[in-house]
Chains A and B, each alone.
Chain A
Amino acid sequence: MTSARFADRAFHLLGLTVLVLALGMLGALLVDVARDGLGRVSWSFLTGYPSRRASASGLLPALAGSLWLVGLTALMAVPVGVGAAIGLEEYGGRGRLARLAEVNIANLAGVPSVVYGLLGLGVFVQVLRWDRSLLAGAGTLALLILPIVIITSREALRGVPASVREASLALGATKWQTVWHQVLPMALPGLLTGLILAVSRALGETAPLIVIGALSYVPFVPDGPRSPFTALPIQIYTWVSRPREGFRANAAATILVLLAVLLVINGLAIVARDRAARRRSA
């Protein structure tokens, strides 16, 4: 075997090794968290309130806070994001303004999340006086995921063939009738998947919430959008920073809950896509 052939084989092996190592890291992470935290996951942990004693602590306020946050964030970001995507994709011309909006959205997607926290702190907390409420947190997260919502929605809309629009317009439908009755239903599977994935980003975000001043000790379940709150990632961070062993087990258990919620949401995305695709073909 010539040396060039040998190098070729060696690189093949190297590539495979790197890939296996990267995925091995994922495996190590999951095993490590499961080993540390599985023993703490119980019904009383899920439905309990934070406590100074690690073994008596629960994460109900964080769990409820996270669900509130995701719901409110979706409520704010989805209509605006899909609207913006339709505006840019279906109505937007090739003008300078459309181009500017496009470059701007790509740039916003690259802004560090902690900077969105500073934006939320300046606008929602200080100027609008929403304080450290769920509303301020959700508003911040909505702005954070908006570029992702717009980008994925535009991709879904782009997947609808132009002939569908032309046929609808040729039959005398208006632009909006075409979008509402033809384009949106056809783009629905892609839209749903993209939207769910974007919204699930909001679930794992920590830094912006800390910056707007979300509390780390909340012994109650939020009762409305103006309520102060904590969230699963913040709870994880608080418990990781405590030096005592028991709190770290709590952090690991909370990570398991967070990953489980993410898994369920991503599963929903797949189911939603499949069902929407089936309904269309029926």
Chain B
Amino acid sequence: MSRLAQRARERVIEGGLAVCAGLSLVTTAGIVAVLTWETVAFFRDVSPLAFFTGRTWTPLFFNQQFGVLPLVAGTLLVAAIALATAVPAGVISALYLSEYAPPRVRRVAKPALEVLAGIPTVVYGYFALLFVTPWLQQWIPGLTGYNALAAGLVLGVMVLPLVSSLSEDALSAVPPGLREAAFALGATRLQAAVGVVLPAAWSGVSAAVILAMSRAIGETMIVAIAAGQQPRLTASPLVPIETMTAYIVQVSLGDVPAGTTAYRTIFAVGTLLFAGTFVLNLCSDWLRRRVPGAVR
């Protein structure tokens, strides 16, 4: 191959690779464009004030009301239950794995937790609806067949590996010197872990918690199956509610004609979902980039 042809070939390949890398930027642009386009059309029919402050969400009924608060409340309720499960359990297991567990236990436990993260969410939905809810109903009399509690608990199990593995990464990144100093002063492993290592890894652990929250808000199938499809402004975890994601699924399965306001609601709700998770992901990313072990 002549020198010139070879150089041309190199340039062509390099260009092709750059196009591949650029495609991810196009994806983001596509998401923003699609969401913006349909949401702007939606807000031509519905005032933003009614959307953000209304307390009734009935776009599929004859008397259409577009107050998104019930969906937001349902989403936050389920996410709160999930975090109340996943954060203590995740941080404790991370502390255990990084400060206590012998390497043998760690070698078995970490891949096993990964399996928990690899199970399709529709399977978790089945488990929440047909195993966890009936089991909880034995103890909680008022619990309905669809509820936020079972969905939230199972969602917590789903995000637990995320909290655990990211927290553990943060804990292991703490310089061993800090631990040794604590031990030299006579601290037990628990005193060193809670008094020294955890505060030093604070930013990484918070990053894990925020990312888990973002996942819990964006998760769809568990809540679509087990939490119900009744938008309701309530703090009770015992009755059916509806999350933003479950609403998008509900409309997608129905026969709402494209181009109507009712149809555009899924894009408006999707925009809200995208914006919320995006902000949480940015916060998490920013916290994770902070130097581990830096004393505040």
Contacts and interface: CB of A to CB of B under 8 A. Distances in A.
Interface of A: 4-5, 7-8, 11-12, 14-16, 18-19, 21-23, 25-26, 28-29, 32-33, 36, 79-81, 83-84, 86-88, 91-92, 100-101, 103-108, 110-119, 121-123, 126, 143, 146-147, 150, 174-176, 200, 203-207, 210-213, 216, 233, 236-237, 240-241, 248, 251-252, 255, 258-259, 262, 266
A92 B18 CA distance: 8
Contacts of A84: 17, 20-21, 23-24
Contact of B24 (A21, A92, A147, A259): A147
Interface string B271-289: 0011001100110110000
Nearest to B126: A240
Given A29-B119, A111-B277, A237-B225, A87 B188 contact: no
B127 A32 contact: yes
A248 B130 contact: yes
Classify the interface of chain A: helix, strand, loop or mixed: helix
Contact of B37 (A14, A122, A241): A122
Nearest to A37: B126
B113 A22 contact: yes
Nearest to A80: B20
B249 interface: yes
A103 B285 CA distance: 9
A198 B239 CA distance: 36
A39 B227 CA distance: 28
Contact of A233 (B23, B122, B188): B122
Contacts of B96: 11-12, 14-16, 18-19
Given A12-B100, A22-B116, A115-B218, A86 B17 contact: yes
A84 B20 CA distance: 5
Contacts, number: 249
A175 B49 CA distance: 57
A204 B125 CA distance: 12
A8 B277 contact: no
Interface in B213-241: 214, 217-221, 224-225
Interface residues of B, number: 83
B177 to A, nearest CB: 21
B92 A114 contact: no
Contacts of A251: 126
A91 B14 contact: yes
7 contacts: A18-B92, A84-B21, A110-B281, A111-B278, A115-B270, A118-B248, A204-B123
Interface string B26-51: 01101101110110000000000000
Most chain B C-beta atoms within 10 Å of own C-beta, residue among A110, A205, A255, A262:
A110
B25 A15 contact: no
Contacts of A216: 253
B249 A211 contact: yes
Q: Which 9 A-B pairs have the closest CB atoms?
A: A15-B96, A112-B218, A204-B120, A87-B17, A122-B34, A83-B20, A207-B220, A110-B281, A84-B20
Contacts of B24: 84, 101, 104-105, 108, 146-147, 150
